[in-house]
A and B are shown apart, each in its own frame.
Chain A
Amino acid sequence: MSTRDDKGWFAIREPLSQSKQQILVLLSFLGPILTWCIVSYTPFIWHPDIRLDISAQRQGVSTVFTAGDHLTKSYYQEFEQFIRDENVLILEQQSGKAEAPKNLSKVRRDNIKILRQLTPIATKQGWLPKDEKIPDEDLIALWEAIATKPGGFEKLNALTDENITVIENNWNLLNRHYQETGSLKMVSVPLQKLVPQGVPVNPVYLPAPHEVLQKGWYEFTKKPENDKPSMWSRLRHSVRIVFTGFLLSCLVGVPLGILCGTYDFFSKLFEPFIDFFRYLPAPSFSTLLVAIFLAHDAPKIALVFVGTFFQLVLVVSKTTTLLDKSLLEAALTLGAKPKSLMTRVIVPGILPNLYNDLRILLGWSWTWLVIAELIGVKSGLTEFIETQGRWRNFDSVFPVIFTIGFIGFFTDQILAQLRGLFFPWTGEKVSFILRKWIDFYHWLTGGRVNVTNNQHLQGSQ
């Protein structure tokens, strides 16, 4: 495996071998994903919350938890204990040891609620159909089925023994009442409450990977409903804002930057103010921009513009000044007039670095997207993130956040790949896959273009 010239993994300022690099690149993505999976799927590592499968309503407490809610472990234990204590009291009331409640209609209402607490876990386990309004009769039948255990309900792993006992006790009571009155409803003796049941989970802000994937797939494939835009049209909208803002910023900023980098006149005239202005936080202009550009997309695009423009001018100016001055002098001794230096030397000379600058600034403009979409009328992906986040549907939020990341990352990667193609003279590698694509394209169109990787020609002096 290791050869004599293998420098190991930690050689100072030495590049790693190709295979080692690939392993690490893979790890840099796999690491976080694996951590996420481990944290999500191994309950003993973290899981500080309990997600309720069966909830209960406490006597005299107005806060209502429903199945699906997250409780901290310590509160959950308290919650369980309260219900158990209430059940002890209810048993005493049933047997007459304690005074029964006077308000019979409230007792009946509570009893119906207790019956219904079983619905979420029943639908989750498939004992009852999903997505339908379940009539109370079916629920009562389910209680009967569980209590009397006909075939199929022998193994009730989903329910704790404690709750099965509660169900059996309650069913006996109901059945006795039925024998007496011929009706299953309207029992006026308080029923025992189902003890809260739940599974340990991570906090609501960290949904498991599969939940995020499922939800992402669902959000991106579902038909738009009512007047809500589909996820794809939200995405198009967001991309349009970023790119329009960025392009406008380039349209003004690039020429201005080149002028500043070329003529000290423009540099001294514009740069000091721009240098000051870029420290004014762009989001603080949001209300101002809305006042100027009114609603819709204009203020949003303006915000991306304000956020990138000032940096862009300074960066482009810097890049322009970095062009080797002796190239300009050489051009002058070859007969170039100062006016033609701009088109014949400066612009072609800085293009590859300018390209890189713009790549970085495009990434920069993506960071302004979220703030831009929040100002005025909320729109695009951000509106979705905002709304879902408020409802704490983080499993819907994550796919959208990742989508923004993917678009930014892949645009940048593609642009980086294309650099070698646009500027063959920089000697940058055109990746194998890209070269094959170009060959294929030229084979299709019948043309021929040489995309050679730079090789240094030595020897022949």
Chain B
Amino acid sequence: MTSIDLPDYKRQSSDVASRFEELKNRPVKLEVKNLQKIFQSKQGPVQALKDINFKTHRREFLSVIGPSGCGKSTLIRILAGLEIPTSGDVLLEGTAVKGPGPDRGMVFQGYTLFPWLTVKKNVMFGLTIAGNSETKAESEAMQWIELVGLKKFADSYPSQLSGGMKQRVAIARALANQPRVLLMDEPFGALDAQTRAHMQSYLLEIWRNIDITIIFITHDLDEAVYLSDRVLVLKANPGEVQEMIEVPVARPRDPDQFLEPEFLATKRHLEHLIHPPSKQQKSPMPITRMTEVGDNVE
């Protein structure tokens, strides 16, 4: 068995280190303080989130990963204002968040486009609610639709689009409100591998060009490392912060970096955090041999 010697994921090149230095000096966009969420179930109270504390800075790309059931989705729903925390605060630019609002855009895994509206009208939805005139909303919406490359489909209905296109519309719709934070809840989870890779590059491109802070939930380690400045790792039962990792991979990112030592080192570390090796060996599946002795594949 061969193994590659990987550097410590904490070792940062000088470029990366100075980038993080600069990032930490930027104003704080979103701050989470002592957040707790307890659900009441029939079996009694279940602690979904416990003592969550973190900050994101302006134009930061922060990913949240963790094993299933760690409360990632609950966390982002609380940030969006769709769930009310049991205790603790979410501060957006220093102001406590109360309920959902257009200052935090959200992209859901299930697209959630309004099927009765065309692509253009979907993107105009938030703009008209904010009180913009129809013509202003339309011209602004068209800019966002162009940004995600769907100008040709402005008058199509969501049912006529592929999954990737739908998610691009959802992103354009969220961005059209010019939110301060974009919350993304496993947005590419339902897409096939190829489309997902396209969408990741797309998202980085958009993020690079506009003033937006992104909080991105995923269970895909490659995705988290590839996209993020920092990765917040949660652990399950109860959902607690395990570690906040600074990704040592240089920017601008590019799919070739998937094989860089820094990338692999970070990924390996995440792997260890989320699937600790000891636990995997604890319960090997009892499998009885069902082929002839000597009929081996390995």
Contact = CB atoms under 8 A, between A and B. Distances in A.
Interface in B140-165: 153, 156-162, 164-165
Given A331-B125, A333-B102, A335-B102, A348 B114 contact: yes
B129 A348 contact: no
Interface string A314-352: 000000000010110111111111001000110011010
B130 A335 contact: yes
B100 A329 contact: yes
A340 B129 contact: yes
Interface in B197-224: 198-199
A288 B66 CA distance: 66
Contacts of A425: 115-118, 157-159
B82 A334 contact: no
A455 B161 CA distance: 9
A333 B105 contact: yes
Contacts of B104: 333
Contacts of B100: 329, 332-333
Interface in A409-461: 423-427, 454-461
B153 A457 contact: yes
B129 A329 contact: no
Interface in B63-101: 80-82, 99-101
A329 B174 CA distance: 12
Contacts, number: 100
B112 A329 contact: yes
B126 A335 contact: yes
Given A333-B104, A425-B158, A454-B159, A326 B112 contact: yes
A459 B194 CA distance: 11
A225 to B, nearest CB: 54
Interface residues of B, number: 40
Interface in B94-137: 99-102, 104-106, 108, 110, 112, 114-118, 125-126, 129-130
B98 to A, nearest CB: 12
A413 B69 CA distance: 49
Contact of A334 (B81, B118, B157, B173): B173
A459 B164 CA distance: 10
Given A327-B112, A425-B115, A336 B153 contact: no
Contacts of B56: none
B195 interface: yes
Contacts of B81: 332-333
Nearest to A427: B159
A334 B174 contact: yes
A345 B112 CA distance: 11
A324 to B, nearest CB: 7
Nearest to B152: A460
B177 interface: yes
Contacts of B118: 425
A335 B129 contact: yes
Interface in B236-291: none
A340 B198 CA distance: 36
Nearest to A350: B116
Contacts of B161: 457
A15 to B, nearest CB: 20
B80 A333 contact: yes
A425 B112 CA distance: 15
A109 B50 CA distance: 111
Contacts of A335: 101-102, 126, 129-130, 177
Contacts of B156: 457
Nearest to A331: B125
Most buried by A among B160, B194, B198: B160
Contacts of B102: 333-335
A349 B116 contact: yes
Contacts of A340: 129
Contacts of B117: 348, 425
Contacts of B126: 334-336
Most buried by B among A336, A349, A458: A336
Interface in A129-176: none
A334 B177 contact: yes
Given A330-B108, A333-B82, A335-B129, A345 B160 contact: no
B265 to A, nearest CB: 31
B157 A427 contact: yes
Contact of A333 (B115, B159, B174): B174
15 contacts: A330-B114, A331-B125, A333-B80, A333-B104, A333-B174, A334-B173, A335-B126, A336-B125, A349-B114, A423-B116, A425-B117, A425-B118, A425-B159, A457-B156, A457-B160
Interface of A: 324, 326-327, 329-337, 340, 344-345, 348-349, 351, 423-427, 454-461
Interface of B: 80-82, 99-102, 104-106, 108, 110, 112, 114-118, 125-126, 129-130, 153, 156-162, 164-165, 173-174, 177, 183, 194-195, 198-199
Given A336-B126, A336-B129, 14 more contacts: A324-B110, A327-B112, A329-B112, A332-B99, A333-B80, A333-B183, A334-B173, A335-B101, A345-B114, A349-B116, A351-B116, A425-B159, A454-B160, A455-B160
